[in-house]
Every structure is written in C-alpha cells, then in structure tokens.
C-alpha cells in the first residue's frame, strides 16, 4: 500500500484536489439556490406589500368619487371628527388652513414623531396650520401615553372609517392645502420631508423663512427655563456663570435615529470637560414627560456624566410663539454654544448643521 501511494502520490493528490473542488462547487450551488430562494421570498413579500398598498390606494368610497385613483389634487372629503376630549371638528370649517392629519397606533416608538409634529404645528399655528391625530387602533389609552408624552392637539379614536375615507395606512400623514385640496400622503416621512411639505403648502411660492436675529435669540435663550430630571430643580439658562454653555435642544428623544448620533457626540464632549468651565445641557421640548426622560437617561447612563438633562418648561415672561422661535425645525436637534457675556458663539441651522462634529464644537469651547 505504501509503495502504491509513493508511486501514485501525484495522481492521488490531483484526485483529492478535484474532489475538494467538486464539493466546493456543489456547496456554492446549494448556497446560491438558498440565497436566491431567500431573495425571491423577500421580493415576493415586498411585491405583496406593494400590491396591498396599491389596492388600498385604489379603493374607492362609492359615496365619494374624489377618493379614487386621482387621490392627490382632489377635494378633502367631508367629515365630522370627535376628539377624545369631546370636541367636534368639521373638516370643512378648517378650509383656508393647512391641515395635517397624522394616523398613528400610538406605540411608544412613534410618540416622539408626534411631539415633533406638535412643535411644527405650534410654530406655524398663527399662520393657519392645524394638526389632528387619528388613533388607528381605535381606543386611546390616554393615561398610558401621558406617561411618555402629553399631546395638546386633537386626538380622534378611529373605528376604521376615517382611514377608509382617506385610504390611509397606520402612520400615514396627509396634508390638505388652504384650498381644501389633498396634496400629500406619506408613510413615516422624515422630519425634513414633513417640514418642507408643510411650508410648501402654507405658501406654494414661499422662500425659506428668515432665521431669528442673533440678539433676539440671545435674549430668548437667557429666559429659557427647564426642569432638571436628576435634581428635580428648575433652572434658567441665564443663571449660569460658566464661561461656555453647550446647549442642545431636542423636540423629543428618539433612539436609533439621527438624534442618537448627536447624543453620542455630547457624551463624548462631556468626558473631559470641567463642569466649572463648561455647562453641558441636553434639553427636550414641551410635551415630553420628565419621568420618561429620566428613565431613559438612567438607562443610557447619562446620570453618570457631567451632562445636565432637562425638559423645557417655558420662556419666562415669553409667549408660546417665543418658545417655538428657538426651534428651527428643519434641524432637530439644534445645538447652541453660548460664551462669555451670554453671547451666542454658535447657533445651529440648516446651513451649518453638517459642520457639527467633535472637533468643530471643541474649537468654540477652548
């Protein structure tokens, strides 16, 4: 046997090589088929969802010919909505306003998006923007939801009739323009898309709104008060004596989205900062529950850093309009750096937002 192996070792080696390659080829063929089947299954599932969406979009209400395939550009259907607070809303009475209708199942992960919409509608309420929430699940558990956020705009419990009227899916957002015409419908649209669409239909020939003047913004920020979720105390920005304040305003907390990057940036900046020299604040807007923010903060160990976390309460002596003016809602969150003499060194906006990184912020804090 040994003699046979010695005399034919090359043949045996080639045979082994060929056998291994045959096995590898067979394995790759099997694996390719599995991957192909997997992608085929995903494609079929996606096509099924698309078909379902198209069926929903194409569904017509026989009593309302406007809700067919030409959904966009048609008049808003007539409807009477009853809010959970007992209010009665006639959609036709809102003609002349830009109406935002947001469907939601009011799951925890969607609540922060609703707070953003409250800020957007609040900022432009005086310019005729109305916001209505529709609970796609029907019954609204207000007590459970209030433990996370408190919403001030009307909430409607839907038995399916409102979704049917608008051919809407859960978490769809619909915009109706001042002429009472349906202009926009999208499922889980980003904040940037929502902001631009709302402003577009407020004034189709609009230019970008002017930012608040720096001097006026400085005055508003000095009056900004917040509730510190760790200490339980109320503070105003103007009371701090540190040479620099790094202030980041979030409409609401969101994990797993763009806000998470900014939170991590603030945590990195706080690691080597002397709290006597730099005050670092993360503040969340009205509507957020302080206990929920505290729980989230402790879960993410913000309480072990030098970061102060709070929920905005008001602008001492200011109006609701003043409060919303400190938010430029095409950027959320928005970061400010306030230096000596309470002067703003940096105010984030759409033009400079891409510069915001650790090195750039550090250059103002030295």
Lowest mean pLDDT among 52-56, 138-142, 244-248, 330-334: 52-56
Longest dimension (CA), the chain: 102
Structure-token pair, residue 244: 């620099």
Q: Helix 191-202 crosses helix 108-123 at what angle (to 10 degrees)?
A: 30
Model confidence over 152-177: pLDDT tens digits? 999 999 999 999 999 898 899 999 99
Domain annotation covers residue 283: yes
Do residue 319 and residue 251 come from a single domain? yes
Domain annotation covers residue 274: yes
Question: Of the candidates 202, 235, 260, which is a domain's last residue?
Answer: 202
Is 290's pLDDT higher than 90? yes
Do residue 231 and residue 334 come from a single domain? yes
Do residue 129 and residue 165 come from a single domain? yes
Question: Of the candidates 202, 222, 241, which is a domain's last residue?
Answer: 202
Please give the Cα distance from 128 to 340 (Å, whole number). 39
Higher pLDDT, 277 or 60: 277
Please state the rounded mean pLDDT for residues 280-288: 94
Question: Of the candidates 170, 202, 234, which is a domain's last residue?
Answer: 202
102: nearest Cα among 198, 196, 199, 178: 198
Do residue 190 and residue 277 come from a single domain? no
Do residue 340 and residue 224 come from a single domain? yes
Q: What kind and span of H or E run contains 323?
A: helix 320-325
Domain annotation covers residue 66: no
Specify the CATH number for the domain of residue 164: 3.40.30.10
Do residue 150 and residue 119 come from a single domain? yes
Is 93's pLDDT higher than 90? yes
Is 245's pLDDT higher than 50? yes
Do residue 172 and residue 241 come from a single domain? no
Please give the Cα distance from 115 to 294 (Å, whole number). 17
Do residue 311 and residue 227 come from a single domain? yes
Domain annotation covers residue 50: no
Please give the Cα distance from 363 to 366 (Å, whole number). 6
Higher pLDDT, 22 or 83: 83
Lowest mean pLDDT among 32-36, 203-207, 236-240, 349-353: 32-36
> What is the domain range of residue 197?
72-202
Domain annotation covers residue 29: no
Domain annotation covers residue 185: yes
- For residue 259, what pLDDT is reported? 73
Do residue 176 and residue 269 come from a single domain? no
Higher pLDDT, 272 or 171: 171
Please state the rounded mean pLDDT for residues 345-365: 91
Do residue 220 and residue 338 come from a single domain? yes
Structure-token pair, residue 114: 């609703």
Do residue 222 and residue 196 come from a single domain? no
Do residue 176 and residue 220 come from a single domain? no
Beta bridge partners of 35: none
Please state the rounded mean pLDDT for residues 49-73: 46
> 170-195: b or e for each residue (b if 16 or more CB lie within 10 Å)?
bbbbbbbbbebbbbbbeeebebeebb
The CA-based dihedral angle spanning residues 184, 186, 188, 189, taken in that order and rounded to the nearest 10 degrees: -50
DSSP structural state of residue 61: B
Lowest mean pLDDT among 70-74, 273-277, 333-337: 70-74
- For residue 65, what pLDDT is reported? 37
Domain annotation covers residue 44: no
Domain annotation covers residue 300: yes
Q: How many structural domains compose the chain?
A: 2
């Amino acid at each position: 046997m040994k003699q046979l192996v010695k005399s034919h070792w090359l043949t045996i080696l080639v045979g082994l090589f060929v056998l291994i390659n045959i096995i590898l080829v067979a394995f790759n063929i099997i694996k390719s088929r599995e991957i192909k089947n997997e992608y085929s299954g995903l494609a079929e599932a996606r096509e099924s969802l698309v078909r379902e969406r198209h069926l929903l979009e194409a569904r017509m209400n026989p009593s309302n010919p406007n809700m067919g395939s030409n959904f966009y550009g048609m008049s808003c259907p007539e409807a009477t909505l009853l809010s959970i607070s007992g209010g009665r809303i006639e959609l036709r009475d809102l003609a002349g306003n830009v109406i935002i209708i947001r469907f939601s199942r009011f799951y925890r992960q969607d609540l922060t998006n609703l707070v953003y919409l409250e800020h957007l509608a609040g900022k432009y309420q005086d310019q005729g923007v109305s916001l209505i929430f529709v609970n796609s699940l029907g019954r609204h558990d207000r007590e459970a939801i209030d433990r996370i956020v408190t919403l001030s705009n009307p909430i409607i419990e839907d038995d399916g009739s409102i979704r049917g009227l608008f051919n809407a899916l859960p978490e769809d957002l619909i915009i109706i323009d001042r002429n009472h015409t349906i202009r926009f419908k999208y499922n889980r649209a980003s904040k940037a898309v929502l902001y631009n669409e709302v402003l577009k239909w407020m004034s189709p020939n609009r230019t970008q709104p002017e930012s608040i003047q720096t001097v006026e913004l400085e005055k508003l920020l000095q009056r900004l008060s917040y509730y510190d979720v760790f200490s339980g105390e109320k503070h105003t920005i103007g009371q701090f004596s540190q040479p620099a304040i790094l202030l980041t305003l979030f409409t609401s907390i969101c994990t797993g989205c763009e806000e998470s990057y900014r939170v991590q940036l603030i945590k990195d900046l706080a690691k080597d900062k002397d709290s006597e020299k730099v005050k670092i604040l993360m503040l969340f807007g009205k509507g957020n529950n302080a206990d929920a923010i505290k729980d989230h903060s402790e879960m993410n160990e913000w309480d072990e850093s030098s970061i102060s976390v709070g929920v905005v309460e008001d602008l001492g002596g200011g109006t609701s309009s003043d409060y919303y003016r400190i938010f430029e809602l095409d950027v959320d969150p928005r970061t400010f750096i306030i230096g000596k003499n309470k002067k703003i060194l940096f105010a984030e906006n759409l033009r400079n937002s891409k510069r915001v990184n650790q090195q750039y912020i550090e250059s103002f804090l030295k």
